[in-house]
Structure 1
Amino acid sequence: MLIKDFRRDFYDVLQHQRVLILVAFDVDALCACKILQYLFQCDQVLYTVVPVNGLQGVENAFLENAEGIKHVILINCGASVDIVELLQPEDNVRFYICDSHRPVDIHNYYNAVQVKLLMRGEELSVPSYDEVFRDDESSESDTENDDPELGGKKKRFDDEAILRRQERRRWKENRVKLLFDYTKFTSFGTSAALVMFELAWKLSKDTNNLLWLAIVGVTDQQIHYRTPREKYMEDVLALQVHVSRHNQRGDDDENLLSVNCLRVSFEEELHLSLYRHWSLFDSICHSTSVACKLKLWSLKGQKKLHEFLAEMGLPLAQCKQQYSAMESTLKSEVKEKMQTFMHKYGLEIQDIILPSFTMQYGYKSVLCAADHVMMCAALLESIDKSKMLTDYFLDGTEVLQRSNQEKMDSGVDAAKHQLRSMVKQIQSFIDMHQIISAGPFLYVFIQEGAADSRFFSHPQCLIRLARFTLEAHCNVTRNKRARILPLILGAPLMNEEGSTLVVGIPPLDTDDERKNFFGKAFEQAAESTNTSAKFNSFESHVIEMKSEDKSKFFDAMIGLLQ
């Protein structure tokens, strides 16, 4: 059931209760969890936080922690499956789902007793109750009656039964079609962190720190290609109002906030990865849009980049040293000069500029929201085998708290390592001509044992690689249909030999919607070929499968999508 009053039907209900919070392994979920923890600490609500990595993780976490628990909150997990059917809870257990995944399972939406949805109602377009549920579920069967006196009545009853069966068959056919249309595309709604921040605002408990967490959550959706740019801009404008409210300045331009307070400001940021923590040259080479438009993995592309920098009047020696060490006059001109010369090199404004936010704590260096997302995501999907799942989660939490500078630095290093590995892998794909057109889609697989392949055995990193690969291919191929073709990318799983993690992403031409059809397609292909695919991820377009099943699975996918 969709909750309209979050305060009355959710937050007030949890007062003086013990709560279990299940949190998905993504930055937005982690930010939402941090906001909720702050609210619970203000009101002394007892809670247990358990990170979950997939549907199996949700089941295990609930079984291990369900004793004495009557209220379970699921953040960025649980909306797209029938949660009551999955977990088989006691009748007195209530689930509160704050999840940006769409579509929402119809059983969750229409369960008025055990399931409460913390979402914006205008984002949901669920079929009506009567179209998907019926009360006359009892099966009907014809009974023979040999009594001649009842022959007329029997015939009338038989006619009525036939009409009822025909009507029920039509209803079932219509239901199947409706549910298929409802579930055939997956997408994302409003960030869970933004939903939780709005709750904090309504409770008059919002702070600058919580606002920054909401900003990072919204930026995470942009970085991982979950929501279209229009939706991102809509959320940015909503956040900008709160930023102005929490970061006022006096008429004499003297900040009213104390020096040791967090300051958040809106900026038109350079859309370059980690440039404040790297050299400008390296950042450009590892930023998806600019690297793909200039083809920076090639010698010709590198030459073009040198020309671009020279035309902007930026010496190569300055660009190759740490950005923080560049001459201040050059740094102040980078944004303006890039916008001046971008069209000459085939770049658009969205390739160069990302409207976003930055934060500064005291006299420490400025940190932008996109960099914070990259640092946190890199630690959540660490390749350090010596750590447990909860260790990755705690590392991500420490990065969001910003109190441990050593952890922040390790997050930057991990994010750089990920980006370098992506560029090397893409260069390998293109040089070896490994991106193959199967007709209705493109596909490519990372070979087992390939250098740095362990980075891509995590869903979020693999999704970013897939998008980078698709953009790179569209900029080098002569195939004009490339922009309307989706891409399937597979990588060997780090901890399971002989298994492959597969992700499907939509074509570049559908960026205005960011709807993904691969979840339903993967499901049908696996069913038709009896492939032992595991649909464990919260994103249905990410699956695990045995490497030996790839050929028959892809044959089925070609047949489905033609």
Structure 2
Amino acid sequence: MFVSDLRKDFYDVIRGKRILVLVHFDIDGICASKILQSLFRTDHILYTVVPVQTRTDLINSFQQHAEQVKHLVLINCGGCVDLVDLLQPPDDLIFFVADNHRPLDICNIYSGEQIRILTKLDDDEEVPAFDDVFREDESEDEESDEEGQKRPRFDEEVLEKRRARRQWEQQRQKILFDYTQFSHYGSSTATLMFDLAWKLSKDSNELLWWAIIGETEQLMSERIEQDKYLLVTASLQNHVSRLNHKTQDEQPLDCLRISFEKELRLALYRHWSFVESMRHSLYSATTLKLWTLKGEKRLHELLAEMGLPLSQCRQKYCGMDVSLRNELQPLLESKAEKYGLDNLLFASFYITHGFRSRFSAMDYVYATSALLETNDKEKTAADAFLEVTDSLSISKLTVLEKGIESSKQQLEAVYRQMQTFLDMNQVISAGPFLYATVIEGTPDARFFAAPHCLSLLARFTLRAHVAVSRSKKSRSLPLIITTPDVRASEPNICLVCGIPPVSEESHRNFFGKAFEQAADKTGSKAHLEFFDTNIIQLSVDDRSKFFDALISLLS
């Protein structure tokens, strides 16, 4: 069932109870949990937070902690699986599900009181009607007449009922397939939790900043479309104006301030050199084709027309002349159309704390994503989760700066691998899709054995391939990328990630369902464990037949 009033039907219900919060390994989920934890501490609510990355983690965490609680909050996990069937919970245990993954499982939606869904569906999301997917079982073998006498199974009325049931089941399968064939994402869960804080009159600049980071991650990961981002941004801007209405003179020097301004779609450019940021940003690199000699010349031409000396652009942004730094954004905006960089600027937010450096929401997303998928073998997933939680606190800027440096290494690895794919012609057309494989033993392979970084590599590779490809068909082809899973506990396991084609305006992804069907058809050793269904673990030995089945399915 859907919860219409978050304050009355969610927060007032759990107030005074002990709560188990299961949080998915993504930045939006962690930001949402930070907001919720802040509310819990304000009202002295006892809670336990457990990070989960896969369905197995969800089951294990539930079995380990569920006996101590009667109320569970699931953040960005569990909405797309039948929770009652998966976890077998006692009848008096209540789940509150705030999940941005779509489509939501139909059993969760119609479960009654036990599973309560906090997220709201978008206007374009349609849920099948209850009567179309559920009905009471009827005996197929025999029917009783009015006098209680059993009639034979070949009775004409019985046969008619069986025929009608088969037709209903066929129709049900078609309806469920149409509903579940595309995976996509709904609104940010962090924004949902901030709305709750606002309704409880417990909102603050820090909570608002976490909501902004969650929404920005949705955009940067291409989980929501630009128009939906703009709608939410307008609402967030109203909150920014409300909470930051005082002038700088009226506020203490160490006050936290959020501002709404235009932002360049360039990775970490305030913490990097301008040239390096241009080269390692997906949008500018693929638009100007910066991995080619021609692209490098175009970049130099752009800098020359802007009047920016190369020596200034190759040093750290903070070391550039102040006059050049101040003119950088307007100069780029004036030359954007000529160089095809029309979408280089977008509406975003900045944060300042006293006299410290300014950080944009994009900076936070890059840094926290890198910390979450750390390559440090001594750190567990839980350690990385806690480090990201720390980096979101305004007082822990040293952790954030560490994340920024890690993110630079990650972006450099993605760029090198993308260039290798193109230079070696390793992006291959398989008919209905393109595919590329990170070769085992590649030094940077350790970066890609994580869902976020692998998805970034896939998006970078597909757009770069389309930019240089002579075939017009490449724009309408999706991409599948595989890489050795060096973090897996089993040997000979690879990660497989599928993304939709560049020509698709919506970010709906059909690979989740396609991977599931190909694995069933071939009997491949595949682990469909991730909540992001377009990424799976697959045995290297089964990769060939798995791809053959995908080609057959998608042709």
Structure 2 residue 518 is matched with structure 1 residue 525: yes
SS of the aligned residue for 1:344 comes to coil
**Pair 1:159-2:160 in alignment:** no
For residue 351 of structure 2, give the secondary structure of its aligned residue in structure 1: strand
* 3-state secondary structure, aligned to 1:481: helix
Equivalent pair of 2:122/2:186 in contact (CA under 8 Å): no
Is 1:288 the counterpart of 2:282? The answer is yes
Match of 1:268 in 2: 262
Match of 2:475 among 483, 486, 489: 483
The equivalent of 1:191 in structure 2 is 188
Instruction: Give distance in 1, aligned partners of 2:185 and 2:347.
Output: 20
Matched, 1:371 2:363: yes
Cα drift, residue 397 of structure 1 = 0.7
Query: Tell me, what secondary structure is at the counterpart of 1:199?
Result: helix
What displacement does 1:346 show?
A: 2.5
Partner of 1:72, secondary structure, is strand
Match of 2:51 in 1: 51
- Cα offset for 1:249? 3.6
Shift of 1:406: 2.5
Deviation at 1:122, TM superposition (A): 4.1
CA contact (8 A) 2:142 2:152 kept: no
Contact conserved, 1:97 with 1:115, CA < 8 A, in 2? yes
Deviation (angstroms), 1:410: 1.0
Distance between the aligned counterparts of 2:174 and 2:46, measured in 1?
44
Establish whether residue 133 from structure 1 lines up as the match of residue 126 from structure 2. no
CA-CA distance at 1:16 after TM superposition: 1.3
Q: How does 1:111-510 map to 2 (within 5 A)?
A: 111-123=111-123, 124-135=125-136, 137-142=137-142, 154=151, 158-250=155-247, 254-348=248-342, 350=343, 352-496=344-488, 497-510=491-504
2:529 to 532, 536, 541: 536
* Deviation at residue 328 of structure 1 after TM alignment: 1.3
CA contact (8 A) 1:248 1:255 kept: no
Distance 1:71 1:234 in 2: 33
Q: Structure 2 regions of 5+ residues with no counterpart? A: none
SS of the aligned residue for 2:426 comes to coil
Map 1:38-77 → 2, pairs under 5 A: 38-77=38-77
CA contact 1:402–1:408 (8 Å) conserved in 2: no
Give secondary structure in 1 for the equivalent of 2:20: strand
Deviates more, 1:84-93 or 1:19-28: 84-93
Residue type of the alignment partner of 1:14: I
**Alpha-carbon separation, structure 2, partners of 1:498 and 1:431:** 27
SS at match of 1:134: coil
User: In structure 1, how many angstroms separate the alpha carbons of the residues matched to 2:199 and 2:408?
Assistant: 38
Number of aligned residue pairs: 550
User: Residues 153 and 46 from structure 1, CA distance in 2 versus in 1: closer, same or farther, beyond 3 angstroms?
Assistant: closer
SS, match of residue 508 in structure 1: coil
- Shift of residue 118 of structure 1? 0.6
User: What secondary structure is seen at the aligned counterpart in 2 of 1:263?
Assistant: strand
CA distance in 1, matches of 2:100, 2:50: 19
Contact 2:142 2:150 in 1 (8 A): no
CA RMSD of aligned residues (A): 1.7
Cα separation, partners in 2 of 1:144 and 1:242, compared to 1, 3 Å: closer
SS at 2:467 equivalent: helix
Alpha carbons 2:143, 2:150 under 8 Å: kept = no
The question of whether the paired residues in 2 share the 8 Å contact of 1:228 and 1:513 is answered with yes
Q: Could you say what secondary structure the match of 2:21 adopts?
A: strand
For residues 515-547 of structure 1, what are the alpha-carbon distances to aligned partners after superposition, in whole Å with 9 as ceiling and x for unaligned? 000001111111111011101000111100011
What TM-score comes out, normalization by structure 1 length? Answer: 0.95
Give the AA of the match of 2:54.
G
SS for the counterpart of 2:375 is coil
Q: Offset of 1:112 from its aligned partner?
A: 1.0
Q: Give per-residue Cα distances to partners, 1:390-421, cap 9 Å, x unaligned.
A: 11011101110132232122101100000000
The 8 Å contact of residues 248 and 256 in structure 1, kept in 2 or not, is answered as no
CA distance in 2, matches of 1:2, 1:447: 46
Please give the alpha-carbon distance, in whole angstroms, between the structure 2 residues aligned to 1:402 and 1:475.
40
* Distance across 2 between alignment mates of 1:401 and 1:155: 72
Q: Which amino acid aligns with 2:87?
A: L
Q: State the Cα distance separating 1:333 from its structure 2 match.
A: 1.3
Deviation per residue, 1:213-270 (Å, 9 max, x gap): 00000001111111111111111111111011011045xxx45332211100111101
Residues 275-303 of structure 1: per-residue CA shift (max 9 Å, x gap): 01101111001110110111111222212
- How far is the alpha carbon of 1:156 from its aligned partner? 11
Distance 1:156 1:50 in 2: 53
Taking the aligned partners of 2:84 and 2:257, their CA distance within structure 1 comes to 43
Alpha-carbon deviations, 1:335-361, whole Å to 9, x = none? 11112222222222x1x1121100001
Percent identical across equivalent pairs?
A: 48
CA contact (8 A) 1:294 1:301 kept: yes
Task: Assess, with a 3 A threshold, how the Cα gap between structure 1 residues 499 and 92 changes in structure 2: closer, same or farther.
Answer: same
SS in 1 for 2:35: helix
Contact preservation (8 Å) 1:2, 1:121:
no
Q: Structure 2: how far apart are the matches of 1:363 and 1:64? A: 45
Output the amino acid matched with 1:192.
Answer: T
Q: Please state how far the C-alpha of 1:166 moved relative to its aligned partner.
A: 1.3
Counterparts in 2 of 1:28 and 1:156: CA distance versus 1, 3 Å: closer
- Tell me how far apart the structure 1 counterparts of residues 121 and 452 of structure 2 sit (CA, whole Å): 27
CA distance in 2, matches of 1:122, 1:474: 31
TM-score, scaled to structure 2 = 0.97
Does the residue aligned with 1:509 lie in a helix, a strand or coil? coil
Deviation for aligned residue 1:304:
1.6
Distance, in Å, in 1 between the alignment partners of 2:341 and 2:6 is: 44
